[in-house]
Amino acid sequence: MSVSITFKDVVKKYGNNTVIPALSLDVKQGEFFTLLGPSGCGKTTLLRMVAGFNSIEGGQILFNEKVINNQPPQTRNIGMVFQNYALFPHLTVEKNVAFGLENRKVPKAQIPEKVEKMLEVVQIANFRKRLPQNLSGGQQQRVALARAIVMEPDVLLMDEPLSNLDAKLRIDMRNAIRDVQKKVGITTIYVTHDQEEAMAISDRIAVMNGGILQHVGTPQNIYHRPANVFVATFIGRANIIERPCHFEDGKHVIKMSEGYSVVMDNLDPNYRERSVKISIRPEEFVFSNDHEGIDAVIESSIFLGLNTHYFVRLDGGEQVEIIQESNIEKILEPGSRVKLKVKEEKINVFNRETEKSITKGVVNDAEPK
Amino acid sequence: MMQNLNKKRDIWTVVTIGILLIYAIILVYPLFTILKASVVTDGGFSLEYFQKFFGKKYYYGTLFNSLKVTVCVTLLTAVIAVPLAYIMSTIKIKGSGLLQGLIIISMMSPPFIGAYSWILLLGRSGVVTNFMKDTFGITTPDIYGFTGIVLVLTLQLTPLIYLYLMGAFKNIDNSILQAAESMGCTKVKKMFKVVIPLLLPTLLSGALLVFMRALADFGTPMLIGEGYKTIPVLIFNEFISEMGGDDAFAAAISVIVIIFALTIFLIQKLVVNKKAFSMMSLNPIEAKKEKGLKNILAHGYVYLYVALAFLPQLYVMYTAFLKTSGRIFVDGYSLESFQIAFERGSDAMINTLKLGLIALFFVVAIAILIAYVTVRRRNTLTNLLDIISMVPYIVPGSVLGIALLLSFNKPPLMLSGTMAIMIIAYMIRRLPYTIRSSAAMVHQISPSVEEASMSMGASNLKTFFKVTLPIMLPSVISGAILSWVTIISELSTSILLYTGRTKTMTVAIYTEVIRGNYGTAAALSTILSAVTIISLLLFFKLSGKKEVDI
């Protein structure tokens, strides 16, 4: 049954080019775990190392306590769903699903029953006699999923399985995948570059960049308390500005502009540098009604129904994006002068040099405890 | 730390090494034998045979003859094929499907049958010659020698370039042409500034293939060349000469031919690599209906070409049904020629069938394996295999025949005179083409399909047989049919390797023509052509397209 997966200082090299320097990570049993990152960050490489299609140049990967580094893919007992589905074009839906069972020496009599049940689970039973070329993208996706989990593998690996589907189908399918995964309770590693998809589907997410884990945590924590500037900007939108700060009475005072400072009591008290980087999400700005706030000029606006986006020039010269719930009154014209405040409890503050978060509340499983 | 087992040291490495060993024995060793034979005299190194070749015009003249023929044929085929492909891709031609089929059939039939048919038409007592002389008193130009060789080979090989170009036209996106037009580049200017440059790499590849075929062709110059000797004819004569052939001298000439072919090959590669680019068309050019003069000219051009290429062969078939008296055709029709053909040629037919099928089996099996390892397991070994398997591309059939005979004429590998040596020869000669088309198919299969199979517990071998091979199968079968057709029409190697017991149909036709038994020759040709045509029809049916991958 389902296993936990441990990565111990795993290294991937192509010739002399190190793609993943030394990666350590624990994926819990039954967990839906997502590797998220921009293209080329090493997420698919890592997934294929778990599958056995890429060699491992250093460190270990363990299923439960067992090192699997040198096991061929055939014996790892994995189920894999590929970006292009990789269905066998010469076999019907049924035969595609039965393929793995036949290899695993499941008694012949049991195969049809298992196949049938799985086709029901992914709701594709009506198409059992069809060839893959006669299925739509979403149906092919369901077959690929059924084929991978019918063998009751220890681990389910999915490599950007939804990227070839259209937007609406993508949402339907990600819910279907999530449901099926919960139903069978199988440890799953899912690779995607789509952060919304990752947040919707995962128990935990690992944000990767340049072969290094940036932040491993729950979707909420990664969004609200990103471990560094990269994570803040990669997940959702974030305006990054730099401001002077000083430490007094156990609190940090950040000077946002002349006459407007915010006092933060949730920052690392050991941080004593004279300035910080701040990440403010577009919804964390508010238009100020009093005389306090950062002076700013509206440059342009986009009305999107529920929300209105403003692009605003701060008096410090930075351009930032602001999202406000649309109201019945007129949208602010370009050129309008406004004063902005921030939602102090929501913004994140980072070390100016290392760009690591100094805000309390970051839960990053990638850091050694 | 444990070593990584995952270095793909699997069953495929064994397969690669196994095939490399086979090639070492049946190709590399013979080529070295021929090289050795050419430079060793009385146990010592000597360039005596090369001096002999370049010392007499009788010998080195053949090199110029071959060069002249080959260059003329290559240029002419290109000049004829470009408009042909352009018309067929851009203008709707009535019966274009049938025409396409006829063009392919005319290409796939043995070249020497073409030569023979032109002799029947325009030869010394050809029908057209006699008709013109008797009716108008006009003497038709002499078909023998240079003119005849160029005529036959041009008609025979034009389809090669034509088919290459048709493929390239399919890859030109119509929007490229529309973009050119929108920028004011139209008609002739568009043709020379856009279309031809886009086709150039393909044209050069096709031209190389024509060049190699024309250079290596033996049957045509032998039948229609008369005094005009080309290199393959010289090699054959020196080797087979009734006054005791000179093996070493034939070997030396072979080496010269290989060096010559290799030079051309490398120059072509150099030029093509500089100009290479890839095209993908979402919106291919469609043939449009034309009106008026343009339409008439287009139809005229295509029909004229197909008639010239195909009708002579049809005439050969016709003569097979003529009554004969001794060696001469007389009035009236009969099936006598076929009767004699079956009496004398049944052994040859059975041999052709047997040799063809056995060779075909090995060609297909080895080609699939080579294609798979060279595409999926790129490493030094498979690269080596890739290069070695393409060597026969530039080795003329007669040279290969001599190399095999010189290498396997003594124990432990006493193969001369056996069926095995002919099968080996067919295999080596056909493999490069079959490998190429199989490799194209492997490229189309996404590696993740195989990975999916492995992740579901199938071993590498099982994955190959249960997933990869079944997906490849349809194209493997159509590829096999094409290989079959080329194998049964092979002459230049067979003529060197055959003995009484292993005579093939092509050899039988050739000997009947040489002996002047035109009726029997025609009947045998007709049977061979019929087999070819039926095979090709089967190919069209199975592959569902009117194209061949040569």
Question: A247 forms bridges with which residues in the sheet?
Answer: A252
- Give the model's pLDDT for residue A363: 92
Residue B316 DSSP SS3:
helix
- Give the model's pLDDT for residue B286: 80
CB contact under 8 A, B2 and A104: no
Widest distance between CA atoms in chain A: 79
CATH architecture, domain defined by A230-351: Beta Barrel (2.40)
Question: B41 forms bridges with which residues in the sheet?
Answer: B44
- Give the model's pLDDT for residue B7: 46
**Is B453 an interface residue toward A (CB < 8 Å)?**
yes
The 10s digit of each residue's pLDDT in A51-83 is 999 999 999 999 999 999 998 888 899 999 999
Assigned fold of B47-305 = MetI-like fold (1.10.3720)
- Give the model's pLDDT for residue B2: 35
For chain A, give every residue range classified as CATH 2.40.50.140. 230-351
- ipTM field: 0.81
User: Is 2.60.40.1180 the CATH classification of the domain at A5-229?
Assistant: no
Beta strand spans in B299-376 (E): 322-325, 328-333
* Mean pLDDT of successive 10-residue stretches along chain B, which has 550 residues: 45 90 92 88 80 85 92 95 90 88 85 85 82 80 87 91 88 82 79 84 89 89 87 86 72 90 87 74 79 89 92 86 77 82 86 92 93 88 89 88 88 80 92 87 89 90 91 84 88 87 90 85 89 86 66
Contact B34, B254 (CB under 8 A): yes
- Give the model's pLDDT for residue B342: 86
What backbone phi and psi angles, to 5 degrees, belong to B413?
-110, 75
**Is B380 an interface residue toward A (CB < 8 Å)?**
no
> Rounded to a whole number, what is the distance in Å from the CA of A74 to chain B's nearest CA?
4
Nearest CA in chain A to B3: A70
Residue B516 to residues A89, B120, B223, B521: CA-CA distances in angstroms? 55, 11, 11, 8
Chain B residue numbers with beta carbons less than 8 Å from the beta carbon of A83 are: 448
Mean pLDDT, chain A, rounded, equals: 91
CA atoms lying within 13 Å on the CB side of residue B412:
1
If one looks up domain B1-40+349-502 in CATH, what number appears?
A: 1.10.3720.10
Nearest CA in chain B to A157: B455
Residue B242 DSSP SS3:
coil
Rounded to whole angstroms, how far apart are CA atoms A125 and A143?
10
Arithmetic mean of pLDDT, A237-245: 93
* Closest by Cβ to B451, choosing from A79, A86, A104: A86
Burial class (CB in 10 A: 0-12, 13-18, 19+), B141: exposed
Arithmetic mean of pLDDT, A239-253: 91
Chain A residue numbers with beta carbons less than 8 Å from the beta carbon of B470 are: 90
Chain B residue numbers with beta carbons less than 8 Å from the beta carbon of A57 are: 4
> Rounded to a whole number, what is the distance in Å from the CA of B438 to chain A's nearest CA?
18
**Is B475 an interface residue toward A (CB < 8 Å)?**
no
Q: Suggest the residue from B2, B377, B453, B455 to mutate for an interface test with chain A (most A CBs closer than 10 A).
A: B455
Contact A213, A40 (CB under 8 A): no
For chain B, give every residue range classified as CATH 1.10.3720.10. 1-40+349-502, 47-305
* Closest by Cβ to B456, choosing from A69, A83, A103: A103
Residue A29 has pLDDT above 90, yes or no: yes
Helix (H) or strand (E) holding A234: helix A229-234
- Give the model's pLDDT for residue B545: 63
Tell me, yes or no, if the pTM score tops 0.90.
no
Rounded to whole angstroms, how far apart are CA atoms B145 and B222?
10
Contact A34, A190 (CB under 8 A): yes
Higher pLDDT, B547 or A170: A170
Q: Suggest the residue from B456, B464, B475 to mutate for an interface test with chain A (most A CBs closer than 10 A).
A: B456
- Give the model's pLDDT for residue A1: 66
The 10s digit of each residue's pLDDT in A112-161 is 999 999 898 888 889 999 999 899 888 998 999 999 988 889 999 999 99
For chain A, give every residue range classified as CATH 3.40.50.300. 5-229
Closest Cα partner for B38 from B380, B402, B291?
Answer: B402
- Give the model's pLDDT for residue B6: 42
**Is A99 an interface residue toward B (CB < 8 Å)?**
yes
Rounded to whole angstroms, how far apart are CA atoms B146 and B228?
6
Cis omega (within 30 of 0) on the bond before B412? yes
Buried-exposed string B261-296: b where 16+ CB fall within 10 A, e elsewhere: beebbeebeeebeeeeeeeeeeeebeeeebeeeeee
